[in-house]
Amino acid sequence: MMEEQADLGSEAADQLRKIVTVKIWIKNGSTPIILPTYTLTYPLFKIEFCLSFLHHILKDNTSALVATYDPISTQWQYHNTATVQQVHCNGVVLYCVLPSGLKGGCIIDCPGLDDDILAYNSHQQPLTTSMPWSWPTLD
């Protein structure tokens, strides 16, 4: 009986570790949408796992472009919803929607984003200071 409870406890803990917190900014000046999402492939993740996001925000447009913050390079990476991302240290993935694609306007007013990036960078590299975020330029 005790062994079964221990197995259930470790299985539940393993399942909790596979929950990714997805923060998505969808328009300027708005707070992010926060979606806890279970993924079987942790630490690998795709935004297309968030079915409610795909359906309600992207209107099932699987070719839509999004940007993901990469804490290793401290840069934003543009990609589609099927691109596999590595979930880093704290189980949070930061996304911004690109409403008009790469050549259109970017979401630049993201309340709380600087705090999330600082948390990413301090957790990843505690002895360095955070670099301010910026969108990469498109040539």
Q: What is the CATH number of the domain that holds 55?
A: 3.10.20
Is 72 a domain residue? yes
- Count the Cβ atoms, other than its own, within 10 Å of residue 119: 15
Task: Look up the pTM and report it.
Answer: 0.70
Please tell me which residue, 22 or 107, carries the higher pLDDT value.
22
Structural domains counted in the chain: 1
* pLDDT tens track for 38-57: 888 888 998 888 877 777 77
Residue 72's domain comprises 19-124
Is 130 a domain residue? no
Cα–Cα distances in Å, from 117 out to 58, 69, 130? 24, 8, 8
Is 56 a domain residue? yes
Instruction: Give which of 20, 34, 27 is closest to 97, Cα–Cα.
Output: 27
- Tokens for 3, please give them: 């062994």
What percent of the chain stands above pLDDT 70? 73
